[in-house]
Amino acid sequence: MRLDGGVSLPPHTPSDRAAGDTVDGVAGDTVAGDTVDRVDGDIVVQLDHVTVRRGGNDLLADLSWSMELDERWVVLGPNGAGKTTMLQLISAQLHPTRGSVHLLGERVGAVDVFDLRPRIGLTSAALANRIPEQERVMDIVVSAAYAVLGRWRETYEAADLQRGRELLDQLGVAALADRKFGTLSEGERKRVQIARALMTDPELLLLDEPAAGLDLGGREDLLARLSELAADPDAPALVLVTHHVEEIPPGFTHALLLRQGKAVASGLLDDVLTEDNLGVTFGTPLRLEWAGQRWFARAATPNPGATPGDAG
């Protein structure tokens, strides 16, 4: 998949800063008398002892995690594990209660988030719900250049429109360019959202349950396209959030398992994705199988009274 530029956006220009000292291996830059930590250039995301507290509850608790440029991560966990909260943090939509968040070399809280957000692509159900039903598919994609939903009076250059067409084509929905968003199937909507997320040539792409709500055919088609994206050396760093190991596309390299806001395990996918780790993460014994470059999980102790006919 070609992910080179084409969008007419102002270049990202970090603020001029005087070099500071290095503390605990992290370089510091001084801004108006304050010290702003900066991380190594290969680190795309770094969470250091992050806690997010709301209403007396810790949605994330002392979470530390990092990812590098060429990594493709899957974040797995049950409902309430903190996956959505984590995505809000690493899409520069939320500040931590405690700890620090670095995104694309910048510390959140010490940089204008409006400089960061165009560098991060995001797809989610919440975002999809904000897209006007009458919005034209091509407009949904190209309007990402202005970080808006719903085209109004913006003007786009020929290169922008051409990139939008290419992205729709690469995701198999080029024929839908003039359709209204409200007329699309769930699978088509998912692919249009991914095209939009890629429009600004992001350095980080976040996919929040991209296969949720899809039928079997739609899921398999989407996972095949995400596998192609993961294999592309020019693709952005990828984070995919899901509840299901069956939705991990081939080519993803790392996994973070979350439960009750804490990390159960984190690291290379083959090391982290074990029956023991999954059992702790989901609170039930599980059997894990590997076939056709895909993972599959099921209960370790099925109901002894069940028969094949009971499934229907």
Q: Per residue in 152-178, pLDDT tens?
A: 677 788 999 999 999 999 999 999 999
pLDDT in tens, 44-72: 999 999 999 999 999 999 999 999 999 99
Sheet with 72-76: strands ordered across = 120-123, 204-208, 237-242, 72-76, 254-259, 262-268
Domain ranges of the chain: 42-306
CATH 3.40.50.300 given to domain 42-306 = yes
Instruction: Give the Cα-Cα-Cα angle 198, 4, 210 (nearest 5 degrees).
Output: 20
Q: Which range, 126-135, 156-165, 247-256, has the best average confidence (pLDDT)? A: 247-256
CA contacts within 13 A on the Cβ side of 115: 15
Estimate to the nearest angstrom the gap between the alpha carbon of 298 and the chain centroid. 25
Residue with token string 């709500």: 213
Mean pLDDT, range 204-212, rounded to an integer: 95
Residues with Cβ within 8 Å of residue 169, at least 6 apart in sequence: none
The tokens describing 265, both together, are 């395990």
Exposed / middle / buried, residue 136 (Cβ in 10 Å: 0-12, 13-18, 19+): middle
- What's the predicted TM-score (pTM) here? 0.81
Q: What is the pLDDT of residues 60-103, one digit of tens each?
A: 999 999 999 999 999 999 999 999 999 999 999 999 999 999 99
Give residue 157's pLDDT.
85
Confidence band for 306, pLDDT divided at 50, 70 and 90: low
